[in-house]
């Protein structure tokens, strides 16, 4: 990377005032005062639980050579280093990071994937598909990071990390020889209030679907949709070939196409509504589907080794991305036949027990509807669901999920997901209110067991031959977050331990 000065990082930042020397050399960029080192530019951001402006002196003492402050929260007191005053320091972070890392997105084919459900799976499947057909791929997803052949867990608990982490990963991808980056783009990251993905220079934007999620942050469905559509507007950062890909089966797809630059190539994929890449499900079983694909690139039958119709749609999205990037249809179809689901998505737990156990990340109303509808016909006995709802997140969805589960499952075990600073029992009570609207009654239709380990054990103990126990909402996540600590967590391991305590010990790979 080229040497940086403070002035060289400010080209795409709306600076209100610059106090001090603009040519000071900058060696690193951080928004965490604890990570400041000699030569750092410290960006002070006011967050939900702390305010970086309170740590400016600490940052300078650790070696910060300049600070960026938010005019709304800075107290105007003199400091010993140059100060950049901006209207919103959080918004300034992304263009600063892109400039610091020399705009790595411009050196990659950067693909962004957004939607309410299926983002992680589609991001992973797209990365697998492109890698199998000759691309050197990097990936940023809720579940994992990847740079070429190296893959490791995303333990940040952010589906899309903060802008400096995103840009640093993209620069690592370029350095490692990657030609393609696939990024899971969340509504929070895309919202102009955060703007974490500004400067990524997307070449491809993909919209999967829009449903009920994160309205605690966005306020209304319309704002949520508008924030998601920012991904398509960000195609405007790049010159040359750009692709806007949408799911024709979602009634909001035209809204996303309208957000893309006029000269972007527009592609629709779909299973039901007319589309450029048209899929027709020939067979759908509990663990795979066969889809006939008709497209401008030809026709073929596609084997999707993932469960459910929704994964057939996800696979069709990944296929459409590959076709847009010049991958031959038959090569793409052959590669898709070998993909695997991400960690924590539809994972069967078999220890020899006479009932089925599946771990999945489903944690919103649309995902509940889909997973229950998909699995219900496959279950001979009862369907038992263990789930909670995240604290300090969308409150409205809690009762909705309780009602959906109450309507479609036989027994609910309501438990902790990530209570954070909220009262865990109050969260569960809100879910239970929805379950009662569906006719469930405490003790028989649902149980309230905040301790997730005990909830899983209660569900296993209640299961009879032919039943299905669904463990929902944690999936791959490595912790349960409480107000003042995080409990290390592994849902699959906890399920196996609970089964072992019941006498089921079959080994697994």
Query: pLDDT tens across 188-236, in order?
Result: 889 888 889 999 999 999 999 998 655 555 568 888 899 999 999 999 9
The whole-chain average pLDDT of the chain stands at 93
Distance CA 68, CA 348 (A): 49
Average pLDDT over residues 11-16: 93
Tell me, yes or no, whether 191 lies in a domain: yes
Tell me, yes or no, whether 143 lies in a domain: yes
pLDDT at 439 over 80: yes
Average pLDDT over residues 393-414: 95
CATH number at residue 426: 3.90.190.20
**Tens digit of pLDDT for each residue in 232-270?**
999 999 988 999 999 999 999 999 999 999 999 999 999
% pLDDT > 70, the chain: 97
Number of H helices, E strands in the chain: 15, 26
Q: Indicate whether 442 and 395 sit together in one domain.
A: yes
Residue 507 banded pLDDT, cuts 50, 70, 90: low
C-alpha Rg value of the chain to the nearest Å = 24
Q: Indicate whether 198 and 72 sit together in one domain.
A: no
Query: If phi over 0 gives left and psi between -120 and 50 gives alpha, with beta otherwise, what is residue 275?
Result: beta
Q: Indicate whether 166 and 84 sit together in one domain.
A: no
For residue 509, what pLDDT is reported?
Answer: 44
Tell me, yes or no, whether 336 lies in a domain: no
Q: Indicate whether 84 and 111 sit together in one domain.
A: no
Tell me, yes or no, whether 507 lies in a domain: no
CB count in 10 Å sphere of residue 105 = 27
Q: Domain limits at 205?
A: 101-269+310-324
Q: Indicate whether 127 and 255 sit together in one domain.
A: yes
% pLDDT > 90, the chain: 79
b/e for 466-498, b at 16 or more Cβ within 10 A? ebbbbbbbbbbbbebbbeeeeeebbbbebbbeb
Q: Indicate whether 473 and 420 sit together in one domain.
A: yes
Q: Which residues are annotated as a binding site?
A: 33, 115-121, 159-160, 186, 196
Q: Indicate whether 8 and 66 sit together in one domain.
A: yes
For residue 217, what pLDDT is reported?
Answer: 56
Q: Indicate whether 136 and 30 sit together in one domain.
A: no
Q: Which phi and psi (to 5°) does residue 356 adopt?
A: -90, 150
Q: Indicate whether 494 and 433 sit together in one domain.
A: yes
Q: Total domain count for the chain? A: 3
Q: Which residues are annotated as a binding site for ATP?
A: 115-121
Distance CA 280, CA 293 (A): 7
Tell me, yes or no, whether 338 lies in a domain: no
Distance CA 253, CA 148 (A): 32
- Residue 242 CA neighbour count, 13 Å, CB half: 24
Token pair 């057939």 is at which residue? 312
CATH number at residue 250: 3.40.1190.10
Q: Let me know: does 435 contact 448? Beta carbons within 8 Å.
A: no
CATH number at residue 25: 3.40.1390.10
Identify the residue with better confidence: 463 or 396. Answer: 463
For residue 212, what pLDDT is reported?
Answer: 62
Identify the residue with better confidence: 44 or 346. Answer: 44
For residue 168, what pLDDT is reported?
Answer: 97
Identify the residue with better confidence: 157 or 349. Answer: 349
182 forms beta bridges with 111, 139
DSSP 294-338: EETTEEEEEEE-SSSHHHHHHHHHHHHHHHHTT--HHHHHHHHTT
Tell me, yes or no, whether 402 lies in a domain: yes
Average pLDDT over residues 426-448: 97
Tell me, yes or no, whether 276 lies in a domain: no
Q: What is the pTM of this model?
A: 0.84
Distance CA 52, CA 32 (A): 7
Q: Which of 35, 67, 88 is the last residue of a domain?
A: 88
Q: Let me know: does 447 contact 413? Beta carbons within 8 Å.
A: yes
Q: Indicate whether 47 and 158 sit together in one domain.
A: no
For residue 213, what pLDDT is reported?
Answer: 57
């Amino acid at each position: 990377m080229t040497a940086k000065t403070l002035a060289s990082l400010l080209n795409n930042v709306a600076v209100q005032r610059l106090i001090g020397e603009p040519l000071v050399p900058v060696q690193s960029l951080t928004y965490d005062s604890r990570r400041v080192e000699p030569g750092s530019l410290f960006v002070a951001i006011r967050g939900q639980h702390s305010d970086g402006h309170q740590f400016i002196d600490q940052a300078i003492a650790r070696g910060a050579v300049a600070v960026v402050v938010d005019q709304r929260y800075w107290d105007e007191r003199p400091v010993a280093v140059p100060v950049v005053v901006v209207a919103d320091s959080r918004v300034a972070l992304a263009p600063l990071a892109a400039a610091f890392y020399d705009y790595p997105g411009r050196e990659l084919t950067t693909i962004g994937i957004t939607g309410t459900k299926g983002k992680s799976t589609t991001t992973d499947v797209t990365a697998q598909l492109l890698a199998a057909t000759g691309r050197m791929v990097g990936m940023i997803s809720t579940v994992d990071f990847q740079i070429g052949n190296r893959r490791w867990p995303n333990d940040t608990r952010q589906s899309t990390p903060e802008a400096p982490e995103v840009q640093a990963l993209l620069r690592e991808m370029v350095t490692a020889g990657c030609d393609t980056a696939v990024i899971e783009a969340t509504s929070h990251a895309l919202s102009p209030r955060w703007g974490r993905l500004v400067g990524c220079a997307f070449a491809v934007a993909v919209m999967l679907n829009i449903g009920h999620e994160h309205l605690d942050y966005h306020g209304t469905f319309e704002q949520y949709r508008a924030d998601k559509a920012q991904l398509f507007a960000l195609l405007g950062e790049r010159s040359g070939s750009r692709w806007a890909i949408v799911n024709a089966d979602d009634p909001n797809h035209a809204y996303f196409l309208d957000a893309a630059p006029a000269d972007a190539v527009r592609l629709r994929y779909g299973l039901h509504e007319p589309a450029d890449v048209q899929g027709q499900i020939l067979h759908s079983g509990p663990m795979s589907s066969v889809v006939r694909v008709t497209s401008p690139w030809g026709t073929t039958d596609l084997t999707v080794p993932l469960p459910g119709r929704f994964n057939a749609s996800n696979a069709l999205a990944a296929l459409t991305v590959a076709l847009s990037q010049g991958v031959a249809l038959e090569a793409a179809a052959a590669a898709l036949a070998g993909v695997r689901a991400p960690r924590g998505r539809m994972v069967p737990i078999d220890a020899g027990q006479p009932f089925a156990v599946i771990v999945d990340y489903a944690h919103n109303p649309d995902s509940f509807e889909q997973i229950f509808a998909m699995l219900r016909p496959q279950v001979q006995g009862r369907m038992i669901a263990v789930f909670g709802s995240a604290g300090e997140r969308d409150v409205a969805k809690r009762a909705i999920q309780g009602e959906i589960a109450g309507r479609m499952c036989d027994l609910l075990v309501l438990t902790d997901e990530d209570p954070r600073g909220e009262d865990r029992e109050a969260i569960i009570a809100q879910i239970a209110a929805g379950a009662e609207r569906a006719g469930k009654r405490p003790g028989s239709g649902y149980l309230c067991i905040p301790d997730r380990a005990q909830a899983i054990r209660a569900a296993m103990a209640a299961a009879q031959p032919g039943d299905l126990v669904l463990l929902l909402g944690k999936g791959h996540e490595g912790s349960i977050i409480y107000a003042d600590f995080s409990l290390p967590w592994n849902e699959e391991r906890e399920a196996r331990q609970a089964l072992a305590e019941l006498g089921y010990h079959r080994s697994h790979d």
